[in-house]
Structure 1
Amino acid sequence: MKIRLGYIGVEDTMEMVLAVIRKYPDYECYPYIHTRFEEIDDLLEQHSGNMDMWLFSGPLPYEAAKQSGKSFKPLFFIPYTGTSLYRTLCEILYQQKLHIDELSFDILTQAELQQVFSEFGIKHSPIYNKEYTGSDEALYEHHLKLWEEGKTKAAVTCVWIVQQKLARMGVPVFRVRPTESSVESVLNTALRAHEMLQFMDAQVAVQIIKTDPYNGVSQELYSSDELFNMEMALTQKLLQYAKKVQGSLKGAGPGRFAIFTTRGIVRELTNNFTTIPDLAEIQELEGRLTNCGIGIGKTVYEAELLAGKALLHTKPYKEGAWMIFFEDKTITGPLGKPEQLSYSYVSDELQKISAASSLSIATLGKIQFILRKRGTDEINAYELAQHMQILPRSARRILIQLEASGLAQITGEDNPHPRGRPRKIYRIDLSLE
């Protein structure tokens, strides 16, 4: 079966990229042209369900796709290699007779530019260069301002949109376009990634589901036959769900069932391990399916053990929590909840910090993920408690312990409630350097 590849690119390189993709019999390509980054969200939302992976014409649309979160399929982009810049500089320096100091650059790093200049025998360092910081408008303004001030005579951009804007303003502009070799390189990388993903998707996944067949049932007296029928009705629903996930069902103790399937099916049903499966069989079990632990392992035995551990980790949460334990000892969950965390139980770095702070690796892993998710290294006890689903006093003890170990320091206070006690703000640095 061919790999369904969605390609989102710009019109000036579309035909070249498609011609290269056609050389690869493993791909079935679906091309989409975009003129604005805002269009990428809609394209992903409309077509991701029909794609196996996505390819983008450069790092900017790729970053826009990552930020949107509209697709959980593997994402790749065509890099601007040294060869791409080399070809553009040949035209500028030898045909247009411009000097390197008269040019402004973007996207490419200082090191990449230095390497190409060295190969050209150019000793000058690039003076006017701006790396991407999240805004194509900033790149456009970088080039335009330098040209208007008379510091440059032309712009060299990797971004089609920036090229179009500058050209409309009358700025002489050259675009670094991807080469066929760079397209071939990323297509080969994507093929290897697809093979690895297929291998991983074949891993065993075991779901251990905790149920309560009598939840929501009135307090009336029921005969043993009626109670048996309730249990059988629940089992029948679980059998339907097991069939939907192409798995098999077996009892795993009082009120517990195990479903055996594969990682790939679980990944698809949970939107890359982020949500509870949106299936009628699960919705009909609402209230009776209390919690679910999913284990993914190299063997059935390993996956079943990890599923049991995942189920234990649902205890701090309300009913309906789903957790996943992976073979690399990372855990994620509760699925579909704002407080969903992903953290590791095995880390050499966190092992050292654990020994120094007396906090468990799991606790440190949670804190590490929370800070990364928030995009800041500062947090108070109330915020930490909300994310970790623990009491504020427990969160305060953790922060005090980090402070005593030299891993956190108080940077200030906030007081959201005028009559309440101020909350200390801690800056956390989970390193021993």
Structure 2
Amino acid sequence: MKIRLGLLGASDSLEIIQSVVNKYPEFICTSLECLTEEDLIEKVRPHLDEIDMWLCSGPITYKIVQDWKGIEVPVFYVTYSGSTLYKTVLRVLYEQQVEVDEISFDSCNISAWEHALQEAGIKTKPRFVESEMISLEGLVTYHFELWKSGQTKAAVTGHPIDHELHRLGVPAYRSLPSTMAIEAVLTNILRTYEMLHFKATQIAVQIIEIDSFLGLKKDSFSTDEIFRIELKYMEKLLSYTKKVHGSIKPSGFGRYVIFTTRGLLQDVTGNFSHIPDISNLDELSKEAVTCGIGIGQTVYDAEINAGNALLHAKECAKGTWMVCFDNKKIAGPLGKPEQLTYSYASKQLESISRQTSLSVITLNKLKSSLKKLSSDKLNANELAKYMQIPPRSARRILTTLEQNGFAQVVAEEKPHTRGRPRKVYRISPF
């Protein structure tokens, strides 16, 4: 199967890349000259469903693509290093008769430029290197202000920044991709494609538990009614199983196991971000269906992981879906904005678990919650929200950590309504 590769960047760079890609029979290329976000909207959007992976001609084009956020498949770019960099610098030094410390650079970090200069036998170190991929306008301003103030006499950048700097009178030079750099990224693309193809064919097992009693009146149901409800769910699960090209088997009262592949399940869950659509299930019925998804290289591994995922789902609430990957990472609840990804295998957390009597899973969820909040401080209500547990359970966890020296009360917040102040805890690094 051929890889449909989209090429993005300036036309002269694309010609060089295309000449190298032509030597690889694994690729079918679509080359699109794109210099702005408007180009992406006009030229790339119509081809999104036709391309497996994209390759940008350099880091600046890659930055434009990343800021656009319109491409969901993997995107790569050609890196500039070694001979590609020092050839450009030597050209600037020869044509402009300047010193290295009178040139402004971007697109690479300072160590890359220093290494390239050392390879060329130049001992002078660069003074002005913008390593961050800031906006195009920001990079133009960066180079122009240095030149205008007399601190630099030339700039080394990418396209279309060089074009704008030329318009402003700045001597600007750009590097073009080297054959070696293009071959390196094409090799990386091939490996990534193989890895993704392998992942897509991994075994996926779903263990589904159905609460047939949910919604029944306490004093007015019979075994016949329960059987009728079971048949209704079974019919819908059969339709869903057909959708994921899988097979289904009963596994005890109210429990079913569905076998399919990771790739198909990724498609129906939006890369494991939401619960798949099981036709004609109302809100009450959705609440009755709890599911653990397991991914593995064998059916046995996938079933074990699905069982672990189901246990985590049942800890949260009815109607929860969780997934356990082959690397023992747990993700979920699917469809929730507070979705967490955590592992239940950690020697450091096992040590803290022994000291606090809190499970490794609980500690991992706490760690993931702090990562989501981008902070080492939180209160019980925030922890309850992210871990999908009652506030009293969250308070118990934080109190336990405080008692064992892994948390410290650093503030108290007064609630908007009546009630006791909420303690804010700083959690020690795990």
Which bracket does the TM-score occupy, shorter chain normalised? 0.7 to 0.9
Q: Which residue identity is paired with 1:146?
A: L
Cα distance in 2 between the residues matched to 1:419 and 1:41: 51
Cα distance in 1 between the residues matched to 2:415 and 2:311: 35
Count of residues in correspondence between the two structures: 428
- Aligned residues of 2:60 and 2:107 also touching (Cα < 8 A): no
Aligned match of 2:115: 115
Note the aligned Cα RMSD (angstroms). 3.1
Aligned match of 1:272: 271
Cα distance in 2 between the residues matched to 1:66 and 1:371: 26
- Structure 2 SS opposite 1:24: coil
Offset at residue 63 of structure 1 (A): 5.2
Q: Which residue identity is paired with 2:101?
A: D
Please list every run of 5 or more consecutive structure 1 residues that lacks an aligned counterpart in the other structure: none
- Structure 2 SS opposite 1:272: coil
Aligned match of 1:90: 90
The farther-off stretch of 14-23 and 319-328 is 14-23
In structure 2, the CA distance between the partners of 1:244 and 1:138, relative to structure 1 (3 Å rule), is: same
- Aligned residues of 1:72 and 1:271 also touching (Cα < 8 A): no
- Aligned residues of 2:60 and 2:159 also touching (Cα < 8 A): no
Cα distance in 2 between the residues matched to 1:47 and 1:416: 51
The farther-off stretch of 303-312 and 146-155 is 303-312
- Aligned residues of 1:54 and 1:74 also touching (Cα < 8 A): yes
- Structure 2 SS opposite 1:183: helix
- Aligned residues of 1:72 and 1:272 also touching (Cα < 8 A): no
1:180 aligns with 2:179: yes
In structure 2, the CA distance between the partners of 1:41 and 1:317, relative to structure 1 (3 Å rule), is: farther
- Aligned residues of 2:81 and 2:116 also touching (Cα < 8 A): no
- What is the CA deviation profile of residues 31-59 of structure 1, one whole-angstrom value per residue up to 9, with x for unaligned ones? 34333247658877765444333323333
- Structure 2 SS opposite 1:185: helix
Aligned match of 2:168: 169
Cα distance in 2 between the residues matched to 1:402 and 1:163: 56
- Structure 2 SS opposite 1:314: helix
Aligned match of 2:243: 244
Aligned match of 1:288: 285
Q: Which residue identity is paired with 2:141?
A: E
- Structure 2 SS opposite 1:238: helix
- Aligned residues of 1:344 and 1:365 also touching (Cα < 8 A): yes
Offset at residue 238 of structure 1 (A): 1.5
Aligned match of 2:59: 59
Q: Which residue identity is paired with 2:24?
A: Y
Cα distance in 2 between the residues matched to 1:203 and 1:141: 49
Cα distance in 2 between the residues matched to 1:407 and 1:392: 19
- Structure 2 SS opposite 1:160: coil
- What is the CA deviation profile of residues 10-33 of structure 1, one whole-angstrom value per residue up to 9, with x for unaligned ones? 344222223322322212223343
- Aligned residues of 1:41 and 1:65 also touching (Cα < 8 A): no
Cα distance in 1 between the residues matched to 2:351 and 2:61: 39
- Aligned residues of 1:216 and 1:287 also touching (Cα < 8 A): yes
- Aligned residues of 1:84 and 1:179 also touching (Cα < 8 A): yes
Please list every run of 5 or more consecutive structure 2 residues that lacks an aligned counterpart in the other structure: none
After TM superposition, list the pairs within 5 Å mapping 1:370-389 onto structure 2: 370-389=369-388
Aligned match of 2:204: 205
Q: Which residue identity is paired with 2:380?
A: A
Aligned match of 2:350: 351
Offset at residue 332 of structure 1 (A): 0.4
- Structure 2 SS opposite 1:313: helix
Cα distance in 2 between the residues matched to 1:253 and 1:371: 39
Aligned match of 1:262: 261
Aligned match of 1:29: 29
Offset at residue 188 of structure 1 (A): 0.6
- Aligned residues of 2:342 and 2:368 also touching (Cα < 8 A): yes
Offset at residue 60 of structure 1 (A): 4.7
Cα distance in 1 between the residues matched to 2:28 and 2:272: 26
- Aligned residues of 1:37 and 1:61 also touching (Cα < 8 A): no
Offset at residue 249 of structure 1 (A): 0.8
Identity %: 45
The farther-off stretch of 391-400 and 180-189 is 391-400
Cα distance in 2 between the residues matched to 1:3 and 1:275: 28
Offset at residue 208 of structure 1 (A): 1.2
Q: Which residue identity is paired with 2:87?
A: R
- Structure 1 SS opposite 2:372: helix
Q: Which residue identity is paired with 1:112?
A: A
The farther-off stretch of 5-14 and 397-406 is 397-406
Offset at residue 426 of structure 1 (A): 3.7
In structure 2, the CA distance between the partners of 1:393 and 1:34, relative to structure 1 (3 Å rule), is: farther
Cα distance in 2 between the residues matched to 1:406 and 1:162: 53
After TM superposition, list the pairs within 5 Å mapping 1:116-195 onto structure 2: 116-132=116-132, 134-157=134-157, 159-195=158-194
In structure 2, the CA distance between the partners of 1:83 and 1:146, relative to structure 1 (3 Å rule), is: same
- Structure 1 SS opposite 2:194: helix
- Structure 2 SS opposite 1:170: coil
Q: Which residue identity is paired with 1:94?
A: Y
So what's the TM-score if we normalise by structure 2?
0.87
Cα distance in 2 between the residues matched to 1:144 and 1:336: 47
Cα distance in 1 between the residues matched to 2:386 and 2:291: 20
The farther-off stretch of 166-175 and 57-66 is 57-66
In structure 2, the CA distance between the partners of 1:365 and 1:226, relative to structure 1 (3 Å rule), is: closer
Cα distance in 2 between the residues matched to 1:423 and 1:230: 45
Q: Which residue identity is paired with 1:198?
A: H
- Structure 1 SS opposite 2:184: helix
Offset at residue 351 of structure 1 (A): 3.4
- Aligned residues of 1:132 and 1:139 also touching (Cα < 8 A): no
Q: Which residue identity is paired with 1:89?
A: V
In structure 2, the CA distance between the partners of 1:400 and 1:82, relative to structure 1 (3 Å rule), is: farther
Cα distance in 2 between the residues matched to 1:239 and 1:129: 60
- Aligned residues of 1:214 and 1:288 also touching (Cα < 8 A): no
Cα distance in 1 between the residues matched to 2:235 and 2:135: 53
1:329 aligns with 2:359: no
Offset at residue 80 of structure 1 (A): 1.8
Cα distance in 1 between the residues matched to 2:410 and 2:65: 35
Q: Which 4+ runs in 1 deviate beyond 6 A?
A: 41-45, 217-226
- Aligned residues of 2:5 and 2:52 also touching (Cα < 8 A): yes
Q: Which residue identity is paired with 2:257?
A: A
